[in-house]
Structure 1
């Protein structure tokens, strides 16, 4: 009788634990949809409804939230309105952590060295030195901002040598086309469109900054829903594999979403260098990026970058 009673108690404890686990699972996941600069994995994953299918049997709804700015994504995570960002630049991730907002790397997305650029207004080819005293528009606290600072520094200048105007890339593009600014910080298709309109690229991130795009997650969600996060990462990696196995179909989807030709979509994809597992070189890039951000007062407090990368991102 004692053994039977013990087994019954154990069963009740186990059942209670399982019920608590089920009750603790969220009924929805809020994830940022970021199609720019040319985030093909995110585009394909959303259009294929891959996450929706993965979590349908669990009764978990996927809410896609359009937030392109890494800084705004981090703010939304801090406010609890965003759980995961399908794509965040590591400059924004580092600055968020430096400000005490714990945002972690779940897996890799892209190393787009040629996708970020400073573009001058239509006319003669501008050099970096020509930016001195000029109006430059672009998003503050992003990899584009980092590219501008690095470019100026390479010529012995600082951000104080230009009139920097905070503006998201689409508005910066419009300001450049309207000749309201002398240069703009642009990415992907906006670079191509501005070049086609006669505006010339001053400099790209290549050789100045090693931009790293990652899937990011709030520390709270990572701790409380590690099993769900593993499944999100699994779907992302399956999507990356599908893209390379069905390249033409993926490019067609990306071209339609970005509003560019198949030829330009192919160019953007090749500029992006998609990947999914964080390497030792990526960890070193995080350290280098932090040193740069601290040195240029874009980040105030130093953090342990190794602790920002979840084990699953390395597997």
Structure 2
């Protein structure tokens, strides 16, 4: 009888050890509310990841890192495991610099949620931006939008005075008339318009924006079960949002500090999704060509190789 108890206890120890070996002590993931990352907001506010990993004793560390460039730097150093939301321009730039990064799942196709916004009483067309100061985040889909819009008008980034600036600061500068135009997203567009600013153009006709969840490759390879569980929870968050739209909008509105009406507008602009398709791969290839052709990216990468199997199913 004692032998049975000893064997049972030993089995429990082995089982616990194996579980610990297949699960990390903690998962470091970004919390990025902007532009209107409702999956990320809902997942955090409802404690979905915490519940999914509670039985395994895995701690969830939420990191507020809004810049795609800073997210990729954190991944490269091993300080960040998942970027819950990253635009594909930042993804490609990071991969081109050798960051061990991969796409885990899709998030959104937000064509209308990014825009070039002119100051109150200022210019109303892209061609009139020549020689003017434009502010916004460098190395992002917004930066890509500006370059694409200028190229279409026969200009380049060198034809404007581009100042690298956080979107929030860019909105303030534009609303105050200290910059001719700013690269803004989501509720910042709404706030700028309320201050009298005007949208010069959105991504429509210039860029096909794609927001994705990315993962540090070493994490996905070392902890495949934990990796897949994070992907599954992110998709469960989207399913919950679709089934509980009104409640989800209340959560999003509160976190973004906007009205329910504006939250509904941002929801409609966002184009949420989860599984990437062949069209997304073509979009990534087109984005890479554009970034290289316009001197924003030096080294080409294997685009399909950036997508883990979970991203496509």
Give the secondary-structure state (helix, strand or coil) at the position aligned to 1:26. Answer: coil
- Counting matched residue pairs gives 303
Cα distance, 1:223 vs structure 2: 1.0
CA distance in 2, matches of 1:164, 1:266: 32
Trace 1:1-315 onto structure 2 (pairs within 5 A).
Answer: 19=17, 22-23=20-21, 25-315=23-313
Distance 1:136 1:231, change over 3 A: same
The superposition leaves residues 153-194 of structure 1 with CA deviations (integer Å, 9 ceiling, x where unpaired) of 010000000000010100111111222111100000000110
Contact 2:22–2:225 under 8 Å retained in 1? no
CA distance in 1, matches of 2:84, 2:265: 22
CA distance in 2, matches of 1:100, 1:158: 27
Distance 1:17 1:255, change over 3 A: closer
The superposition leaves residues 211-238 of structure 1 with CA deviations (integer Å, 9 ceiling, x where unpaired) of 0000000111111111101100111111
CA distance in 2, matches of 1:38, 1:204: 16
Cα distance, 1:269 vs structure 2: 0.5
Cα distance, 1:22 vs structure 2: 2.3
Give the secondary-structure state (helix, strand or coil) at the position aligned to 2:112. Answer: coil
- What's the TM-score, normalizing by structure 2? 0.94
Distance 1:295 1:17, change over 3 A: farther
CA distance in 1, matches of 2:167, 2:218: 30
Counterpart in the other structure of 2:7: none
CA RMSD of aligned residues (A): 1.6
The superposition leaves residues 52-77 of structure 1 with CA deviations (integer Å, 9 ceiling, x where unpaired) of 00001100000000011111100100
Cα distance, 1:19 vs structure 2: 3.2
Gaps of 5+ in 2: 1-9
CA distance in 2, matches of 1:284, 1:290: 10
- What's the TM-score, normalizing by structure 1? 0.93
Contact 2:133–2:181 under 8 Å retained in 1? yes
Bigger mean CA offset, 122-131 vs 305-314: 122-131
CA distance in 1, matches of 2:103, 2:38: 19
Gaps of 5+ in 1: 1-11
